[in-house]
Amino acid sequence: MIKAVIAASALVVAAPALAETHTIAPGEGAQERLQEALILAKPGDVIALEAGRYSLTDGLSLFVDGVTVQGAGMDKSVLDFSDQQGSGEGLLVTSDGVTLRDFAVENAKGDGIKSKGADQIIYDRLRVEWTNGPDANNGAYGIYPVEARDIVVQDSYVRGASDAGIYVGQSEKIIVRRNRVVENVAGIEIENSNRAEVTENLATLNTGGILVFDLPGLPKVGGGDVLVARNAVIDNNTDNFAPEGNIVASVPAGTGVMVMANTGVVLSDNMLVNNKTSQIMLIAYNQPYEDERYQPRPVNVQVKDNIYGSGGTQPDFPGGDLLAAALGGALPPVLTDGLHQGLHLEDSIPALSLGLTQVGQPLSQASPVPWTPAELEPFPQLRAVQLPASMAARLN
Amino acid sequence: MIRSAAILGAAALALAGTLAARATVLNLPAVHDEAVMEGMPRSLSDFRFFDDLSRQLPNDNVIGYRLNTALYSDGADKLRFIYLPEGTKLEAQGQGLLKFPVGAAIIKTFAFGEGEDRRLIETRVLLHREGGWTALPYKWNEEQTEATLALAGARLALTRPDGKAISYRVPNMNQCATCHSIDGEIIPIGPKSRNLPFTWQANLHRVGDLRGSSPELSKDGQSVGWPLLPHWEHRDQVNIDAIARAYLDVNCAHCHQPGGSASNSGLDLRWEQDDPHAIGIRKPPVAAGRGAGGHKVSIAPGDPDASILLYRMQSTEPGVAMPELSRSTVDDEGVAVIRQWIAGMGQ
């Protein structure tokens, strides 16, 4: 008898509780019904959002591991935060193994969807949008995973973020693929992160298309091992509408891909068209800082097999127009402040250096010179990002 | 008998906050330990924390307390209680959080108005269970006879005693955890030795409900061995640096510290942090977005109006306002203190 009881309880432990689907409909009380479902969900459960518009007055949050929030489509199930009165984001996730799929977040007062410390998260086929388009009063980040490892953001659409459409910060092992980011200040930003693959995205009509940044003074510094490949980075010439004080407020309109600090960045097989300041820009962090861990320069950057369209015709920095005129009407596709270490420029295109020699030197001291490649050691290969098997299964 | 109970209850209430009132004279059922340890009781009365729920008269082993400097919650008054199961004690661990035994609870009722006009709005309970702390919010009914579990929180239109109409937010269960978490674990925030009145700690120690080093009185019998946060009501009489840092510790540091909900900002506003950059002096924002308000640093010494920290304290707009939760009005007193503190910093 005792043996049988033990066997039975072992069975209970081994077999995961049957996953349940909790279906939520829009309408009266949606705020409370949806939030309650997110609180009471058990690992493995699905919160299904029926098609329709959910009018919400407060931020939502999910703290249970392994939950899927599944809508009827990014244009069908819409979480509408136009009347939001509290919280710093539309949806906050802090648990691991969460899947967010097929719904939209509109007009959140702060960030759109934030996940903090949420490992193995999948953002799939989402739309995060500020429907009025570029506006300094829009929320900062559309899709915003931070302080986590194993992150996938794919097949999503973000428009109108006053900082970055898709922002991944202080994280590791990141895949951002097949998204469309339109009319944000930064389309995609990878910041203070390691091992990221940004591939097959369309970044257009932003101020800057794709940014790879590392900043001092944060809990995690030393970003690098970032692949930016097979993206279409087109017409990112929208005037910078970021509130001053933020690092992206300093990004010139007309930036295609920008690398600041970071060690080990590959920019390959991208299509870079009509970004009017520069298709590719490499700069050092030029503000004062006190952080002994920090490396302010871009180190080991490989540029190869990209396709370059027109661009560089209206550089958005002081003296940029004169510089372009002096160079025949346009800056070359690659622009560096001169402070990088190890630029592996393997494409047969010209590059321009602003000739700075010290980190922190103001741009007014620039003495532009054509930049010519030096002999370098072969570029070290980046390791491909391998997702845990359980996560790969959720992607199918 | 009923009358004497009421009188005793009133006496207990009067003492709440200054004395450990662990009366055993009343013949009422004890606190319901099973409700503390398991499940999500639907009603606040299920716990039996109070002899008289509406009047907030505590049951046996439920001790009232107050804090030297408290979190601003739209100006609500807070009635605070600790439940200690029979035979258990609190333990001091230096100046930080008191250590609570499993089975203990912290109960905080939010109210507006005085005397007969007092309206109880919500009661938040933190339950110390085997697996850690659980936070549950309860919303009071119109009749003021019961508070009911409000897992998903609520938004209430209220008029404060000063006549101001506010949209008051009862946090949902997750929002409780947003502030009450370090490294993903739910923990209490308020009852730190450094923020509890000296006399309260000394009394608890005397009656045996508190052990550990905390109220080991110094020779003059006037201190607990480390500086206590100043009393907010006496802020005009204390050093501006101390009262400002106390305010930031209590109102901001539960998120803005390593492991807290805002750890990624790199801002650490705890009382014990002494690195100027970490507390925001000349620190550029990270993910503030429009919350930066066009300002370049969290604290610009000598220039309050160029400081992001003060800008966000003065806003009520979601996405800008700090703290993000449970505040729909500006804390004018807090703003005045922080303004004076920043203005007085050498540039």
Q: Residues A173-193: pLDDT tens digits?
A: 999 999 999 999 999 999 999
**Nearest C-alpha in B relative to A170:** B264
Average pLDDT over residues A221-225: 96
- Interchain CB contact of B339 with A (< 8 Å): no
Angle at A80 between CA A76 and CA A84, to 5 degrees: 170
- Note whether B283 contacts A217, CB cutoff 8 Å: yes
B222 pLDDT higher than 90: no
* Residues A24, A36: Cα–Cα separation, whole Å: 10
Give the residue with greater pLDDT, B105 vs A245. Answer: B105
- Interchain CB contact of A38 with B (< 8 Å): yes
Where b means 16+ CB within 10 Å and e means fewer, B186-219 reads: bbbbbbbbbbbbbebbbbbbeeebbebebbeeee
Distance of CA B293 to the CA centre of its chain: 28
- A&B contacts, CB < 8 Å: 140
Average pLDDT over residues B225-238: 88
Where b means 16+ CB within 10 Å and e means fewer, B302-321 reads: eebebbbbbbbbbbeebbbb
Q: Which of A155-169, B89-103, B255-269, B322-336 has the highest mean pLDDT?
A: A155-169
* Residues B87, B85: Cα–Cα separation, whole Å: 6
pLDDT for the residue A12: 40
- Interchain CB contact of B85 with A (< 8 Å): no
Nearest Cβ partner of B319 from A40, A94, A109? A109
* Nearest CA-CA partner of A266 in A308, A301, A231: A301
What would the pLDDT profile of B2-51 be if each residue is shown by its tens digit? Answer: 444 444 444 444 444 444 444 455 567 899 999 999 999 999 999 999 99
- Interchain CB contact of B191 with A (< 8 Å): no
Nearest Cβ partner of A146 from B264, B285, B289? B264
- Interchain CB contact of A133 with B (< 8 Å): no
pLDDT for the residue A22: 96
- Interchain CB contact of A33 with B (< 8 Å): yes
Average pLDDT over residues B72-87: 95
Burial of A373 (0-12, 13-18, 19+ CB in 10 A): exposed
- Interchain CB contact of B275 with A (< 8 Å): no
**Nearest C-alpha in B relative to A88:** B319
The minimum CA-CA distance between B254 and chain A, rounded to whole Å, is 16
B110 pLDDT higher than 90: yes
The average confidence (pLDDT) of chain B is 87
Q: B328 to chain A: which residues are within 8 Å by CB?
A: 85-86
The minimum CA-CA distance between B337 and chain A, rounded to whole Å, is 24
Residue from B286, B295, B296 to probe the interface with A (highest A Cβ count within 10 Å)? B286
pLDDT for the residue A50: 98
Q: A139 to chain B: which residues are within 8 Å by CB?
A: 289-290, 319
pLDDT for the residue A352: 95
pLDDT for the residue B115: 87
What would the pLDDT profile of A78-91 be if each residue is shown by its tens digit? Answer: 999 999 988 789 99
Adjacent-strand bridge partners of A311? A275
- Note whether A63 contacts B319, CB cutoff 8 Å: no
What would the pLDDT profile of A15-55 be if each residue is shown by its tens digit? Answer: 456 789 999 999 999 999 999 999 999 999 999 999 999 99
Nearest Cβ partner of A215 from B286, B288, B290? B286
pLDDT for the residue B79: 96
* Residues A367, A349: Cα–Cα separation, whole Å: 20
Adjacent-strand bridge partners of A194? A172, A224
pLDDT for the residue B19: 44
Q: B184 to chain A: which residues are within 8 Å by CB?
A: 94, 117
pLDDT for the residue B224: 61
Q: B308 to chain A: which residues are within 8 Å by CB?
A: 245
- Interchain CB contact of A110 with B (< 8 Å): yes
- pLDDT level of residue B213 (50, 70, 90 thresholds): low
What would the pLDDT profile of A345-377 be if each residue is shown by its tens digit? Answer: 999 999 999 999 999 998 888 899 999 888 888
Nearest Cβ partner of B155 from A85, A144, A217? A85
What would the pLDDT profile of A267-291 be if each residue is shown by its tens digit? Answer: 999 999 999 999 999 999 998 888 8
- Note whether B291 contacts A219, CB cutoff 8 Å: no
Give the residue with greater pLDDT, B294 vs A325. Answer: A325
- Note whether B290 contacts A170, CB cutoff 8 Å: no
- Interchain CB contact of A35 with B (< 8 Å): yes
Residue from A69, A147, A246, A286 to probe the interface with B (highest B Cβ count within 10 Å)? A246
Share of chain A above pLDDT 70, in %: 96
What would the pLDDT profile of B252-299 be if each residue is shown by its tens digit? Answer: 999 999 988 888 888 999 999 999 999 999 998 887 777 888 898 999
- Interchain CB contact of A263 with B (< 8 Å): no
3-state secondary structure of A4: helix
- Note whether B318 contacts A247, CB cutoff 8 Å: no
Chain A 189-208, CB below 8 Å of chain B: which residues? none
